[in-house]
Amino acid sequence: MMKVLVTGATGFIGSHLADLLSKKGYSVRCTIRKTSNLQWLKGKPYELTEASLSDKASLSKAVEGVDYIYHVAGLVAARSYDEFLKANRDGTVNLLEAAKEFAPRLKRFLYVSSQTAAGPSASLEKPVTEADECKPLTKYGRSKKAAEEAVLTYKDILPITIVRPPAVYGPRDAEILKIFQTVKSGLGTMVGVLKPKYLSLIHSSDLVLGFVQAAESEKAIGNTYFIASEEFYTWDRLIPLIGQSVGRKHILKLKLPHFLVLSVAGIFGLLGKLSSKPPVFNYEKGIDFIQNYWTCSIEKAKKDFGYKQQIPIDKGMLDTAKWYKENNWL
């Protein structure tokens, strides 16, 4: 039985990946920390090993004997660029070094980056492709780009593949839950007054399937891929779909001007400095929000390993809302 290591398996995307790998017959090992919430891993046939991306000794034990490494873990909120770099780039390098030394039969090291490493697209007609120059807007995006660059330096040593997800939704996601809750209350908030904003958006099940397809593809070795939706969405389309999924017919659409979004983001950022935890929403995140096109092309993934979006957006929204309701999140 092939053995896989999944970092970040206690999180939203990593837990879905572990579930899929287990269903496909892999023996799954997950890295955890003493403080990890194991709610998505309890009662499942996974080997749990304590490891930290900053602790090389723990990583050597975690990678020992594995055939595949899916590096999903990452830091999404930090107080400084150095903090982002230490976790997202340096932690990745530590894992690569451990794999090089202690995983001699490794078939693939799959690094989960982010569309933010590439940056937004220039227009609806020109979604970002893997060949485009990366232009990240935020410290987080720049740290993921730096991690990608570090991974690519190992391409002649290890069988590496990089994947870039866009915005993701699905069961267990606490972030998009906020939008479902707002819509259920009868309010649909959108950023921007004049022009609709387009985005790539993918269901978690489609995303992790794309990860596995990329990891199992020989053609994907040494390459980078967007794993995303086949079509692009606007919030004018998404909010009514969310409304249908939560049983809300009449929704007041509130369009927020850019200056208001940036002002609120700046205030949250300042308040976050007084908190023990770094703010998830700050001025940089506000800059992300006001971009017109967060779209990316999946043509390369379709061509190289047959990736295809399986879950239509309307079904995905219904599926997500159903899970939220069944688990008393909504």
> Which residues pair with residue 112 across a beta bridge?
163
Task: Express each pLDDT in 133-147 by its tens digit.
Answer: 999 999 999 999 999
- Report residue 39 as tokens: 């709610």
Residue 166: its pLDDT value, please? Answer: 97
> What mean pLDDT, rounded, does the chain reach?
94
**Cα–Cα distance for residue pair 34/51, rounded to 1 Å:** 9
Q: How does residue 275 score in pLDDT terms, banded at 50, 70 and 90?
A: confident
- Report residue 92 as tokens: 């990745």
Query: If you write DSSP's letter for every residue of 229-255 in order, what string do you get?
Result: -SS-EEHHHHHHHHHHHHT----EEEE
> Does the global pTM surpass 0.85?
yes
| pLDDT > 70: percent of the chain | 100
Looking up tokens 């930290």, which residue turns up? 52
* Contact between 64 and 57 (Cβ < 8 Å): no
Q: Where are the domains of the chain?
A: 3-174+198-232+294-310
CATH 3.20.20.80 fits 3-174+198-232+294-310, yes or no: no
* Contact between 60 and 5 (Cβ < 8 Å): no
Within the chain, where are the H helices?
12-23, 56-63, 81-85, 91-102, 139-152, 177-184, 204-216, 235-246, 258-272, 283-289, 299-305, 313-326
Summarize the confidence of residues 82-93 as an average pLDDT.
96
**Cα–Cα distance for residue pair 119/117, rounded to 1 Å:** 6
